Amino acid sequence: MKKEPFNSFVTAQFQFDKTADWLGLDLPARTLLRSPMKEHHFLIPLRMDDGNVRVLRGFRVVHNDARGPAKGGIRFHPQETIDTVRALAMWMTWKCALLGIPLGGSSGGVVCDPHFLSLREQERLCRAWVRQLPHELGPNVDVPAPNMMTSAQHMLWMLDEYEAPRGVKCPGFITGKPVGMGGSLGRAEATGFGVVFALREALKGLDLPADGTTASVQGFGNVAQHAVRLYEQLGGKVICVSCWDQKDDTSYAYKRASGIDVHALAAVTDRFGGINREEAKKMGYEVLPGESWLAQDVDILIPAAVENQITADNVGTIHPRVRLIVEGANGPTDIEADRLIAEKGTLIIPDILANAGGVTCSYFEQVQSNMNYYWEKDEVLGKLDVKLTSAFNSVLEFANKKSLSLRQAAFAIAVSRVVQACQDRGWI
């Protein structure tokens, strides 16, 4: 039988439907929340440096904004699809609700590969994306942020494009800005650190001291690198990381049984999280096929790359020793793999909880930008720890009380909060 191509939105809707059944939601609530409220699709004619024009496809989707202005990242990615954007917007709604952040969920992107765009072309693209949404973005409407292959520099160009015609400074328009230009200290670390705050709490429940545990990580970009750094500070050892190799158009895993040196490896990694294979070999890393990150003899797995990486086809390769899977990426585990892992009794900290440190810190950035007063890094990361730890413990308590998985519990809490907001506003 021919396999359907993976679609994150199918997963997101499946998760929602299951939660809606469990909560006993009525038809209006289900209909309103299982699809985005608003979608913008547009074409961006991009003038290239050589004078030619390329027409790129862009999106912005607001899933739900009952709890506050929408918030969500922008990806520049060759495999971007409207369904990925829809899924990310929906997951963002649940993340904000779960963390108790007064924001809704959105997401956006452009189908393009910034590896092949000059800086000036990227600047024109950022400005054009903002121009396509003249009334749909704003600090009280919908607040963008970086995601895969978009950076602080991209956010600054977008901010400038928003402010210029309005003749105002409006740093709360966007988050993920450079520090000193409205950005928050700690934003770079936030998602990866949040992953490890959740991991730390889960290990307590498993009675497994972090010191002495080992982990294998998929990805070596922003989320993965910061997660590895904090996990090592807790005494854990990462023996394998993986990344996409742009030149070879495939992924590789980099293994060192004595533990990776995150700083040295980061020094030979490009800004897209691609490790230089030859340099890594010289440093003593074994280079393995990309999927090997999943089969390592470790206690913890951290998928921190892209969607749909743990599937029914490869879930069987997970080593029996693995006790905990922490979803740094959005949607890394497909529906069937999720079921099989739960059957085995391995704990999964779901993405909407594990990687919510990013949006939590984005919210802190928005607050700081709106008052034009910026906190010290320790204050930001301390507040982040409090939020993540409290959300983790609420999910764990609810899961134990109702005999649910952490994923089911996290979705039940988040969805019921959004339903409540829609009801309180009189929408349903």
Segment contacting ligand NAD by CB under 6 A, of 159-167, 304-312, 363-371, 383-391: 304-312
Pairing type for strands 214-218 and 300-303 reads parallel
Helix axes 377-402, 187-206, angle to 10 degrees: 40
Could you say which of 44, 156, 304, 348 contacts ligand NAD (CB under 6 A)? Answer: 304
Cα separation, 40 vs 111, whole angstroms: 14
| Element holding 62 (H helix, E strand) | strand 53-64
Quick note: the x/- pattern for ligand NAD over 333-362, rule CB under 6 A, is ----------------------x--x----
Residue 147 within binding range of ligand NAD, rule CB under 6 A: yes
Residues 243-282 contacting ligand NAD, CB under 6 A = 243-244, 251, 272-274
Tell which residue, 199, 180, 197, has the closest CA to residue 189: 197
Residues 76-135 contacting ligand NAD, CB under 6 A = none
Strand ranges across the sheet with 286-289: 286-289, 250-255, 237-245, 214-218, 300-303, 324-326, 347-349
Tell me if 358 sits within 8 A of 343, measured CB to CB: no
Residue 242 within binding range of ligand NAD, rule CB under 6 A: yes
Alpha helices in 42-81 (DSSP H): none
Cα separation, 387 vs 314, whole angstroms: 34
Closest chain position to ligand NAD (CB): 221
Long-range pairs for 114-117 at CB < 8 Å and ≥24 separation? 114/76, 114/149, 114/150, 115/246, 115/272
Segment contacting ligand NAD by CB under 6 A, of 26-34, 61-69, 166-174, 298-306: 298-306
Residue 306 within binding range of ligand NAD, rule CB under 6 A: yes
Residue 305 within binding range of ligand NAD, rule CB under 6 A: yes
Tell me if 256 sits within 8 A of 285, measured CB to CB: yes
- For the CB of residue 209, give the shortest distance to ligand NAD in the complex, in Å: 27
- For the CB of residue 394, give the shortest distance to ligand NAD in the complex, in Å: 20
- For the CB of residue 114, give the shortest distance to ligand NAD in the complex, in Å: 10
- For the CB of residue 337, give the shortest distance to ligand NAD in the complex, in Å: 15
Could you say which of 20, 33, 37, 149 contacts ligand NAD (CB under 6 A)? Answer: 149
Where along the sequence are the contacts to ligand NAD (CB under 6 A)?
Answer: 147-149, 191, 218-224, 242-244, 251, 272-274, 290, 304-306, 328-330, 355, 358
